[in-house]
Amino acid sequence: MIGAGVSLIQPSPDRLGKMVSRRSRGNCTPLVIDMEAARKAVSGFLVVGRLLSPFKVNPRVIVDDLRNTAWKNQGVVTIQEVASDDGRFILNLAAESDRRFVLKAQPWHFKRDGLIFAEFDGKGDPAEVDLGVMTIWVQVRDLPFELKMESVGWSLEDQLGEVLEVSHRNHLIVEKHLRVRVKILLHEPLNSSVVITPLGSSKILKFDVKYEKLPLYCECCGIVGHTSERFCKIPSEERVVCFQKNLVLSLI
């Protein structure tokens, strides 16, 4: 006898012609999952990434290209696609050193489009991991000697984005230009310069910046991830080139 509260579908004959009743699939007992064990089963050295492009590309094509070039010394990589609007995917890397390499040396490139990654702990929805920022090295060009200081680099956050690192040796800037590693918001335009005002003066000093390994960007709106020809949101009749091609220092 079937207990009260269990709905039935219409009786149907079995192979011997007898009428039998079947439980509705909608009232099956829920499957009980040990979530902690499930997380351990899928854990690894994970990152989630996406291509900064309006075009969709199979992530296996992207990873194969990287493994033949910049990643040729890294271990085995397993690719898992993610249900998302921006074409993101998960990489399960062979070792923690591989994950550090992927995260530290970005942005990467696939046919001049940017490729960014963020660490993923295997918990929650990978589609909700923040991939709206990009870390990149920026050079502040032609600073006077007295302004080439580590403290100046840390003070540029309001103009360049969150400063993660300033390149120095024993707190001295030994390279030709002040270099800062920053986190930029991908929905905001790039900055083409920084401005400094000496204390007690109204004079404004302007210094150009260049981005190392900068991917494709729009010369009209300054947003990384598209070019002005087809995908700029500024109406075509209002487009003006405001961001010159010389923002990029080098591409790999």
- Please give the share of the chain, as a percent, with pLDDT higher than 70: 83
**Is 173 found in the same domain as 98?**
no
**Is 138 found in the same domain as 112?**
no
Domain ends where: 128, 152, 186?
128
Greater confidence (181 vs 122) lies with 181
pLDDT per residue as tens digits for the range 6-62: 444 445 555 555 555 555 566 778 877 656 665 555 667 999 999 999 989 999 999
Specify if 79 maps to a domain: yes
**Is 158 found in the same domain as 218?**
yes
* H runs (alpha helix) in 76-121: 96-104
**Is 140 found in the same domain as 99?**
no
Provide the CATH number for the domain around residue 60: 3.30.70.330
**Is 197 found in the same domain as 123?**
no
**Is 96 found in the same domain as 141?**
no
DSSP-derived 3-state class of residue 137 = strand
Specify if 1 maps to a domain: no
Domain ends where: 69, 93, 128?
128
Q: Which domain holds residue 50?
A: 40-128
Residue 230 has what pLDDT? 75
Report how many domains make up the chain. 2
Domain ends where: 67, 99, 128?
128
Residue 73 has what pLDDT? 72
**Is 116 found in the same domain as 180?**
no
Question: Encoding tokens for residue 183?
Answer: 């986190």
| Cα–Cα distance list, 95 to 182, 206, 217 (Å) | 26, 44, 33
Q: Could you tell me how many residues make up the chain?
A: 252
Question: What pTM, to 2 d.p., does this model score?
Answer: 0.78
Q: Which of 47-56, 65-74, 85-94 has the lowest mean pLDDT?
A: 65-74
Q: Is the pLDDT of residue 185 over 50?
A: yes
Is residue 25 exposed (0-12), middle (13-18) or buried (19+ Cβ within 10 Å)? exposed
